[in-house]
Structure 1
Amino acid sequence: MSASHKYSKRKKWEKEDMSAAIIAVREKRMGYLKAAKHFNVPRSTLFRFVNDNDSSTESVMNKVIGRRPVLGTDIENMLVEYILTMENKFYGLTRMDLRRFAYQLAIKNNIQNAFKDGFAGRYWLKGFLKRHKEILSIRQPTATSQARANGFTKERVDEFYDNLDKIQADKPFPAARIFNVDESGLSIVQSKIPKIIARKGKKQIGAMTSAERGSLITIVVCMSPAGIFVPPMLIFPRKNMTEALMRGAPVGSIGRAHPSGWIQTNLFTQWFQHFVEYVKPTESESSDSNPAVFGNYTDSSDDIAMRNESAVPTDEDAECFFCNGKFSEDKRGEEWVKCLICEMWVHGDCGGYESGIYICDYCKN
């Protein structure tokens, strides 16, 4: 029999009934037996509560039954704050992390415990989550890269809404003519992220991951607050596009191909043409006829690659990632390129660079 099932019948009485019974006995209006029968509460529990003269009626009834927590209330409250802090930083604790951390806290603070093998027990974890069920819960996080975590800041969000306010003040667009466009990468490599302990009720839970691995299919989506949906653009990581890849896609979707699988300036221009054809703006200056588009477009385009192609390191001590040759010692005017992902500089010959965007072999793998 489990510990939770063994004591599942405890404290089944109503607080209002127990409070009334305690008051009746303390004011000598009833005896223990009569009060227990009249208010339908256990007589032994009533006797214990009535004789606890040092506490008020409310505090007596709210006492936690069973064993005291191993770590104590103060340490547990600090642990809850630490869990929420790590979750906000996208490094949430898993259940095993929490059990291991509880064991380390007990050892560090010389707290007597029955933990074994470097972990707190499963019953301790269950009790901890139950004691803090109003704050904590087990959640499934969303994989979040370092770049996205750094980019989504209060300043960026405030800037977006400031721009929105300025545009709305100039021309008050209706909800049906405001469109938000964003691109997202769909990984074709499955990866499983363990559940973590996070704040209860929070809508979005993130977990920091390394840069996306494997090939990505980029999808460009656009929608208005009124529910008007623009068919998406799908960008496949290949050189040549085939319509067979669009089987099963939403009606009206368009497909394009690029070796990186990412959105480029020319592809975004094609999407915007697709958007204009679908929304059909007019030559009128009325905000009811023309749309306002707000996006979160990150330029990883070919024109960036062309600028990098003729760029050189600004640091004289910059070293080639492959041969460790320094830029300051380069006497032959060798070509230098920078990886788009890790931003490490390499000799063009060492990295096998030809043209366009350069991504080193380590980031590709």
Structure 2
Amino acid sequence: MAPKRKYTPEQMRRAIEAVKRGEAVSASASKYGIPRITLRNKITGISPAVCSMGPATILTVQEEQILVQWLFALADRHFPISRKQLLDDVQQIIINDNRKTPFTNNRPGKMWYQAFLKRHPEISERTAQNLITSRENVTEQQMKSWFTEI
């Protein structure tokens, strides 16, 4: 399993600035909690100063944000979609855009779905319940009057 990053981009930025001001790489690395070799590689240009761990996502950050907004819009209209439907829609986006992916039949799998939920913690998977029309059409005034009567 890949190592976990234990520092923030802000810590890295401060450490790089400190080295540029003349501080020693080892002193700056220990001060900001960054591995010395990692800081040296960022300063010398061996690795980019800002990068994320792991492979790049198939959808861009903007596309994923649009997808999240679409999911919330559907949920607000009482039409939540299932995992299967989400994966079908992402597959359709990939096919329409003719993107090269590591997915079988251009369909994201369980790991992509779990990573997507991890990248967007505001989304959660829930079981939708059907509401009968009489329950859905109850107004706030009817609720208040019911509680006053009871």
TM-score bracket, shorter-length normalisation? 0.7 to 0.9
**1:130 corresponds to:** 118
Q: Which AA in structure 1 matches 2:129?
A: T
Residue among 42, 52, 56 paired with 1:49 = 42
**1:353 corresponds to:** none
Residue among 36, 43, 51 paired with 2:29 = 36
Q: Is the CA contact (8 Å cut-off) linking 2:18 and 2:28 kept in structure 1?
A: yes
Q: Which AA in structure 2 matches 1:72?
A: T
Q: Is the CA contact (8 Å cut-off) linking 2:87 and 2:107 kept in structure 1?
A: yes
Q: Which AA in structure 1 matches 2:92?
A: Q
Flag the structure with higher helix content.
2
Distance 2:64 2:100 in 1: 15
Matches within 5 A, 1:267-346: none
Q: Is the CA contact (8 Å cut-off) linking 1:17 and 1:39 kept in structure 2?
A: yes
Q: Is the CA contact (8 Å cut-off) linking 1:21 and 1:39 kept in structure 2?
A: yes
Residue among 6, 28, 41 paired with 1:12 = 6
TM superposition shift of 1:117: 4.8
Unaligned runs of 5+ in 1: 1-5, 162-178, 182-222, 231-365
Q: What fraction of aligned residue pairs are identical, expressed as a percent?
A: 22
Matches within 5 A, 1:165-204: 180-181=145-146
**2:97 corresponds to:** 109
Number of equivalences: 148
Q: Which AA in structure 1 matches 2:12?
A: M
Residue among 44, 59, 73 paired with 1:71 = 59
SS of 2:125 mapped into structure 1? strand
Per-residue CA distance 1:124-157 (angstroms, 9 max, x = gap) = 1111111111x211223332235655x36xxx65
Distance 2:109 2:119 in 1: 15
TM superposition shift of 1:104: 1.1
Q: Is the CA contact (8 Å cut-off) linking 2:90 and 2:107 kept in structure 1?
A: yes
Going from structure 1 to structure 2, the CA distance change for 1:41 and 1:84 (only over 3 Å counts) comes to same
Going from structure 1 to structure 2, the CA distance change for 1:18 and 1:118 (only over 3 Å counts) comes to closer
TM superposition shift of 1:113: 1.0
* TM superposition outliers: structure 1 runs of 4+ over 4 Å: 14-17, 146-149
Going from structure 1 to structure 2, the CA distance change for 1:100 and 1:118 (only over 3 Å counts) comes to farther
Distance 1:81 1:23 in 2: 37
**2:86 corresponds to:** 98
Per-residue CA distance 1:75-132 (angstroms, 9 max, x = gap) = 2222112211111121211112111211111001111112225631111111111111
Per-residue CA distance 1:228-264 (angstroms, 9 max, x = gap) = x83xxxxxxxxxxxxxxxxxxxxxxxxxxxxxxxxxx
TM superposition shift of 1:23: 1.8
Distance 2:8 2:112 in 1: 27
**1:143 corresponds to:** 130
TM superposition shift of 1:17: 4.4
Q: Which AA in structure 1 matches 2:18?
A: A
TM-score (norm 2): 0.77
Unaligned runs of 5+ in 2: none
**1:246 corresponds to:** none
SS of 1:143 mapped into structure 2? coil
TM superposition shift of 1:46: 1.0
**2:21 corresponds to:** 27
Distance 1:100 1:76 in 2: 15
Distance 1:69 1:109 in 2: 15
Q: Is the CA contact (8 Å cut-off) linking 1:71 and 1:111 kept in structure 2?
A: no
Q: Is the CA contact (8 Å cut-off) linking 2:12 and 2:34 kept in structure 1?
A: yes
Going from structure 1 to structure 2, the CA distance change for 1:40 and 1:104 (only over 3 Å counts) comes to same
Going from structure 1 to structure 2, the CA distance change for 1:145 and 1:108 (only over 3 Å counts) comes to farther
Flag the structure with higher strand content.
1
